[in-house]
């Protein structure tokens, strides 16, 4: 049986969610430090972030929801397309990643997605107009938090 592809930008409440990495503030903006191990999402883990919403400090992966996701169209993750086409690479080498073999973005867009992945965050505290456009939020009134 073939394993489903993983979404590297999932929500923590999705079935089989795991921590992909920790979001840190880098010199060029938010930057993901990957957790290169399977770390399942648990209530204790989510509570450990305290008053800070987990999606502000962690990034999650889960099985790709495909047609149930607003980013999925024409058999592809359009978020991955926009990331690969619209963002500048952040790293030269493929970062260590626990989900690469099943990652929807990598399978679909190759290394181009991985070179940009560290700058992608689930929730942005400061709304950069270009990142809002890439995320498909440019026409919404506010960024969900």
Using pLDDT thresholds of 50, 70 and 90, give the confidence band for residue 134. low
CA distances for 39 relative to 18, 25, 46, 48, 86, angstroms: 5, 22, 12, 14, 30
What is the mean predicted confidence (pLDDT) over 95-114? Answer: 96
* Residue 135: per-residue pLDDT: 61
Judge whether residue 26 has pLDDT over 90.
no
Identify the residue with better confidence: 53 or 133. Answer: 53
Strands 58-63 and 29-34: unpaired
Q: Is 45 exposed, middle or buried (0-12, 13-18, 19+ CB in 10 A)?
A: middle
DSSP 142: S
* Residue 21: per-residue pLDDT: 96
Sequence ranges of the domains in the chain:
6-135
Which residue from 9, 13, 18, 24 is spatially nearest to 36, judged by alpha carbons?
A: 18
Report the distance separating Cα 110 and Cα 13, nearest Å.
Answer: 27
- In this predicted structure, which of 39-43, 46-50, 139-143 has the lowest mean pLDDT? 139-143
Question: For the residues of 29-58, what is the DSSP string, one character each?
Answer: EEEEEE--S--B--HHHHHTTTTS-HHHHE
- For the entire predicted model, the pTM comes to 0.83
pLDDT, tens digit, 9 for 90 and up, residues 66-85: 999 999 999 999 999 999 99
């Amino acid at each position: 049986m073939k394993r489903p592809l993983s979404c590297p930008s999932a929500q923590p409440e999705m079935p089989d969610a795991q921590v992909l990495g920790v979001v840190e503030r880098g010199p060029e903006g938010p930057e993901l430090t990957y957790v290169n191990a399977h770390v399942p999402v648990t209530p204790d883990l989510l509570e450990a972030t305290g008053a800070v919403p987990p999606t502000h400090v962690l990034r999650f992966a889960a099985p790709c929801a495909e047609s149930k996701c607003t980013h999925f169209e024409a058999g592809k993750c359009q978020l991955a397309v926009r990331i690969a086409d619209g963002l500048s690479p952040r790293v030269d080498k493929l970062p260590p990643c626990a989900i690469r073999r099943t990652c929807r973005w990598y399978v679909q867009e190759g290394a181009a997605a991985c070179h940009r992945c560290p700058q992608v965050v689930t929730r942005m505290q400061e709304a950069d107009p270009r990142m809002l456009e890439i995320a498909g939020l440019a026409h919404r009134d506010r960024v969900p938090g």
